[in-house]
Structure 1
Amino acid sequence: MRDRRTRGGASPRGLGPLLLPLLLLLGRNRADEEVLMNTKLETSDLRWTAHPVDGQEWEELSGFDDEARSVRTVQICTPSSPASYWLRTRWIPRRAATKLLVEIRFTVMECSSMNQRHCKETFNLFYYAADADEATPTHPAWMENPYTKVATIAADHLLRKDGEKRSNLKLLELEVRRGAGLYLAFQSQGACMALLSVRVFYRKCPPVRRAFASFPETVPHSLVEQAQGVCVENAVTPPGEDAQPPTMLCGENGRWVEQPTSSCACRPGYEADDASMRCRACPSGHFKTASGGGGCSPCPANSNTRIPGSAYCPCHQGFDRADSDHPGAACTRPPSAPRLPVSQLNDTTVTLEWSEPLERGGRVDLTYRVLCSICGPAVGLVASCVPCDDSVLFQPPQPELTRRRVVIRGLRPQTRYMFTIQSVNGVSAVSQSEPASVRVNVTTSRDVPPPVTALRGAAATENSLSLEWSAPVLQNQHAVLDYQVRYSRRDGQEAGQWQYVSSRSASVVLTGLQRAAPYQVQVRARSQAGYGSFSATTTFSTLPDGGANPQLVLTAVLISVGILLAVAATTAALLCYRRRRRSRRRSDVSDKPGHYQMGQTMKVYIDPFTYEDPNEAVREFAKEIEASFVKIEEVIGAGNLHLSVCYPPQHTCLSVT
Structure 2
Amino acid sequence: MKAAGGELGWLTWSPNQGDRSGVSMVLFFYTYSICNVEERDQDNWLRTTFIQRRPSVSQVFVELQFIVRDCNSFDGASLTCKETFNLYSSDADADVGTAFRKGQFRKVATVAPDEITKKNDMRINTETKVVQSLSQKGFYLAFQDIGACIALLSVRVYYKACPATTKSLASFPETVAGGLNQQLKKVSGKCVDNAYSEDLPHIYCTAEGEWVVPVGQCQCDAGFEEVEDTCQECQPGFFKAEASRDKCEPCPANTQSQDSRSLYCVCMDGFYRALTDPMTGPCSGLPSAPRGLVATPNSLTPGKLLLSWQPPEDTGGRSDITYSVECHRWEGSQHLPCGEKIRYDPANTGLLDTKVSVSELDPYLNYTFTVEVHSGVSIILKLNCFLLRVSSSDPPKITSMRLVERDSTSLSLSWDVFPRPRVQSQPIRYELAYRKKDNKIDVTTYVVLKLEKNSVQISDLSPGTAYLVKVQALGDDGNQGVSSLEEQFETLSEGAGRNRSRKNLLALFGNRLTGLFFLQVTSTRLLLSLNRNTHTRQGPEDTYFSSPEQLKPLKTYVDPHTYEDPNVAVLKFATEIHPSHISKQKVIGAGEFGEVYRGTLKAPGKKEVAVAIKTLKPGYTEKQRQDFLSEASIMGQFSHQNIIRLEGVVTKFKHAMIVTEFMENGALDRYLRDHDGEFSSHQLVGMMRGIAAGMKYLSEMSYVHRDLAARNILVNTALECKVSDFGLSRVLEDDPEGTYTTSGGKIPIRWTAPEAIAYRKFTSASDVWSFGIVMWEVMAFGERPYWDMSNHEVMKAINEAFRLPAPMDCPSAVYQLMLQCWLQDRAKRPRFGDIVSLLDKLLRSPDSLKTIADFDPRVSIRLPSTSGSDGSPFRSVSEWLESIKMSQYSENFTRAGVVTMDQVLQMKNEDIKNIGVRLPGHLKRIAYSILGLKDQTSTLSVFAV
**Deviation by residue 1:159-204 (Cα, 9 ceiling, x = unmatched):** 556x355533221112215444322111123334333332221112
Choose which of 316, 331, 340 in structure 1 pairs with 2:268. Answer: 316
Letter of the structure 2 residue corresponding to residue 301 of structure 1 = A
| Residue aligned with 1:337, SS | coil
Following TM superposition, by how much is the alpha carbon of 1:88 offset from its aligned partner in structure 2, in angstroms?
A: 2.0
What residue number does 1:620 align with? none
Structure 1 182/205 Cα, relative in aligned 2: closer, same or farther at 3 Å? same
| Residue 223 of structure 1: aligned partner | 183
Match of 2:349 in 1: 399
Q: Report Cα offsets for 1:326-371 as digits up to 9, x if no partner.
A: 4443221120111222234576434322222121101222221112
Map of 2:658 onto structure 1: none
Cα displacement string for residues 524-547 of structure 1 (whole angstroms, at most 9, x for unaligned residues): xxxxxxxxxxxxx9x9xxxxxxxx
Q: Which residue of 2 aligns with 1:151?
A: 109
Task: Please give the TM-score of this superposition, normalised by the length of structure 2.
Answer: 0.41
Work out which of the residue numbers 261, 264, 275 in structure 1 matches 2:215: 261
Q: Is the 8 A contact 1:126 1:149 kept in 2?
A: yes
Residue equivalent to 1:33: none
- Match for 2:45 among 86, 100, 103? 86
**CA spacing shift, 1:397–1:250, aligned 2, 3 Å:** same
Is 1:451 the counterpart of 2:398 in the alignment? yes
Q: Does 1:249 align with 2:204?
A: yes
Instruction: Name the SS for the 1:390 alignment partner.
Output: helix
Structure 1 residue aligned with 2:147:
190
Q: Structure 1: which amino acid aligns with 2:37?
A: P
Distance 1:426 1:73, change over 3 A: same
Check conservation: 1:102, 1:172, Cα contact below 8 A.
yes
Q: Structure 2 counterpart of 1:329, which letter? A: G
1:230 and 1:496 mapped to 2: Cα distance? Answer: 67
Q: Does 1:483 align with 2:483?
A: yes
What CA deviation, in whole Å up to 9, does each residue of 1:96-150 have, x standing for no partner? 12332111223344445554734433221101223x02646556x314xx42211
Q: Provide the TM-score with structure 1 as the length reference.
A: 0.58
SS in 2 for 1:98: coil
* Residues 1:293 and 1:150: Cα distance change in structure 2 (over 3 Å): same
Given candidates 426, 439, 450, the residue that maps to 2:376 is 426
The answer (yes or no) to whether the contact 1:455–1:470 under 8 Å persists in 2 is: no
Q: Is the 8 A contact 1:247 1:261 kept in 2?
A: yes
Q: Which residue is 1:120 aligned to?
A: 82
Distance 1:436 1:472, change over 3 A: closer
Cα distance, 1:325 vs structure 2 = 3.1
Residue 408 of structure 1: aligned partner: 358
- Supply the distance in 2 between the matched residues of 1:496 and 1:173 (Cα, whole angstroms): 94
Separation of aligned partners in 2, 1:517 and 1:454 = 29
1:341 maps to which of 278, 293, 298: 293
Q: 1:374, 1:62 → 2: CA distance?
A: 121
RMSD of aligned residue pairs (Cα, Å) = 4.5
Does structure 1 conserve the Cα–Cα contact (< 8 Å) formed by 2:294 and 2:309? yes
Deviation at 1:269, TM superposition (A): 4.5
Q: CA separation of 1:188/1:491 partners in 2, compared to 1, >3 Å: closer, same or farther?
A: farther
Deviation at 1:480, TM superposition (A): 3.3
Contact 1:453 / 1:469 at 8 angstroms: preserved in 2? no
Deviation at 1:213, TM superposition (A): 4.2
Cα distance, 1:174–1:484 mapped onto 2, change above 3 Å: farther
Q: Per-residue CA shift, 1:243-273, capped at 9, x if unaligned?
A: 644333322111123x423254555555555
Aligned partners of 2:45 and 2:145 also within 8 Å: yes
Counterpart selection for 2:326 from 371, 392, 406? 371
Question: For the residues of structure 2 that align with 1:387 and 1:438, how far apart are their CA atoms?
Answer: 17
Q: Which has the higher strand share?
A: 1
Deviates more, 1:108-117 or 1:466-475: 466-475
Aligned residue number for residue 28 of structure 1 = none
Among 303, 306, 311, which residue is 2:258 paired with? Answer: 306
Kept in 1, the 8 Å contact 2:471–2:484? The answer is: no
Task: Work out the CA distance in 2 between the residues paired with 1:502 and 1:357.
Answer: 36
Relative to 1, partners in 2 of residues 1:363 and 1:149: Cα closer, same or farther, differing over 3 Å?
A: same
Amino acid at match of 2:111: I
Q: CA deviation at 1:64?
A: 10
| AA partner of residue 153 (structure 1) | V
* SS, match of residue 97 in structure 1: coil
The change in CA–CA distance for 1:212 and 1:458 in structure 2 (over 3 A counts) is farther
Q: Residues 497 and 364 (structure 1 numbering): CA distance in 2 closer, same or farther, change over 3 Å?
A: farther
2:388 to 395, 418, 442: 442
Once the two structures are TM-superposed, the CA of residue 318 in structure 1 deviates from its matched residue by 1.4
What is the rounded CA distance, in whole Å, between the counterparts of 1:77 and 1:246 in structure 2?
Answer: 57
Equivalent pair of 1:335/1:436 in contact (CA under 8 Å): no
Considering fraction of residues, name the structure with more helix: 2
Taking CA–CA contacts closer than 8 Å with sequence separation of 6 or more, which of the two structures ends up with the larger relative contact order? 1
> Which residue does the alignment assign to 1:359?
314
SS of aligned partner of 1:480: coil
SS class of match (1:320): coil
Q: Is the 8 A contact 2:398 2:484 kept in 1?
A: no
- Verify the 8 A CA contact 1:455 1:467 in the aligned structure 2: no
1:515/1:312 CA distance change after superposition, 3 Å: closer
Pick closer, same or farther for the CA change 1:501–1:90 going to 2, 3 Å.
farther
Alignment partner of 1:142 is 2:106: no
Pick closer, same or farther for the CA change 1:490–1:76 going to 2, 3 Å. Answer: farther
- Taking a change above 3 Å as real, the CA distance of residues 198 and 491 of structure 1, as seen in their structure-2 partners, is farther
Instruction: Tell me how far apart the structure 2 counterparts of residues 515 and 255 of structure 1 sit (CA, whole Å).
Output: 75
Tell me how far 1:78 sits from its aligned partner. 3.2
1:133 equivalent in alignment to 2:88: no
SS of match in other structure, 1:324: coil
Q: C-alpha deviations, 1:45-93, integer Å up to 9, x for none?
A: 744333359655443579997xxxxx87534343344431222223331
1:96 aligns with 2:56: yes
Contact 2:94 2:137 in 1 (8 A): no
Deviations 1:475-510 (A, max 9, x none): 9665635537699x9999x97897453562898897
Any conservation in 2 of the 1:100–1:176 contact (CA below 8 Å)?
Answer: no
**Conservation of the 8 A alpha-carbon contact between 2:485 and 2:527:** no
Find the structure with the greater CA-based Rg.
Answer: 1
| Residue 423 (structure 1) shift | 1.4
Give, in whole Å, the separation in 1 of the partners of 2:10 and 2:522: 100
AA paired with 1:439? C
User: Which of residues 159, 163, 172 is equivalent to 2:129?
Assistant: 172
Aligned 8 A contact 2:287 2:312 in 1: yes
Superposition map of 1:509-524 within 5 A: 514=560, 516=562
- Aligned to 2:187, what secondary structure does the other structure show? strand
Distance in 1, matches of 2:328 and 2:27, equals 108
The number of aligned residues is: 450
Q: CA distance change for structure 1 residues 311 and 514 in 2, over 3 Å: closer, same or farther?
A: closer
Answer whether contact 1:335 1:359 (CA < 8 A) is retained.
Answer: yes
Distance in 1 (alpha carbons) for counterparts of 2:399 and 2:332: 26
2:349 matches 1:390: no
Q: Does 1:201 align with 2:158?
A: yes
| Distance of 1:485 and 1:517 partners within structure 2 | 22
| Aligned residue in 2 for 1:330 | 282
Return the offset for 1:43.
Answer: 7.5
Q: CA separation in 2, counterparts of 1:324 and 1:148?
A: 75
Give unmatched runs, 5+ long, in structure 1. Answer: 1-38, 66-70, 238-242, 379-383, 519-536, 540-657
Match of residue 107 from structure 1: 67
Q: CA–CA distance in 1 between the matches of 2:527 and 2:254?
A: 44
Residues 409-446 of structure 1, C-alpha deviation per residue, up to 9 Å, x if partnerless?
A: 233444443322111212224xxxx5252222334466
1:29 is matched with none
Deviation at 1:450, TM superposition (A): 3.3
Q: Distance in 2 between matches of 1:102 and 1:467?
A: 117
Distance in 2 (CA, whole Å) between partners of 1:262 and 1:467 is 83
Distance in 1, matches of 2:377 and 2:71, equals: 98
Query: Which whole-Å CA distance do the structure 2 matches of 1:499 and 1:370 have between them?
Result: 22
